A and B are shown apart, each in its own frame.
Chain A
Amino acid sequence: EAGVAQSPRYKIIEKRQSVAFWCNPISGHATLYWYQQILGQGPKLLIQFQNNGVVDDSQLPKDRFSAERLKGVDSTLKIQPAKLEDSAVYLCASSYGPGEYEQYFGPGTRLTVT
């Protein structure tokens, strides 16, 4: 069974530029999560989708971050404009459903903002 796929794996941009990350979850998984992991810290949830609807985006900085999950499968996370403090690893995870089901994580995208 293929795991969660993410691209790109690495991205370097200058502040005020925009960037987008892509995630393809495990086939059949209805729930998709985006986490931000700053160096030395645990991952922090940015947004959770159930199919193509948003369940929780309380921690998403909506003035610069946006995410979508068209057709309830793939998802993209965008940052526009980027700030230095956005340097982090962006992890995508998926699960069969919300609640008790375990989450499967992708390898992440390491973003460096200079």
Chain B
Amino acid sequence: DAKTTQPPSMDCAEGRAANLPCNHSTISGNEYVYWYRQIHSQGPQYIIHGLKNNETNEMASLIITEDRKSSTLILPHATLRDTAVYYCIVRVGNQGGKLIFGQGTELSVKP
């Protein structure tokens, strides 16, 4: 079973920041937080991951709370092409590697 809780859907205006929350209250100390997204009719795409510290790359920023029980994915300037299902996944970094997907958040970016 997925170890994360996400809202089923969110809307965002084009050009504004999209903030996608994720709860992972049972996360263990050696588990990373990963974010993937899946655009319609495509395979999932890696966005970003982190353990304790906040992370930023060319696609997004990941903010992890100090107690690591929740996180937020931030798309700083959402475009129509960011419309997708976003999955928050907790994953043990040094074992196996499989991803356990939940239902995700369906983000709709509107003009």
Contacts and interface: CB of A to CB of B under 8 A. Distances in A.
A21 interface: no
Given A41-B103, A42-B103, A91 B94 contact: no
Contacts of B28: none
Interface stretch (B15-23, B38-46, B63-71, B72-80): B38-46
Interface residues of B, number: 23
Interface residues of A, number: 26
Contacts of B101: 41-44
Binding site secondary structure of chain B: loop
Contacts of B94: 99-100
Which of A45, A98, A100, A108 has the largest number of chain B CB atoms within 10 A? A100
Interface of A: 4, 31, 33, 41-45, 48, 55-56, 91, 93, 95, 97-108
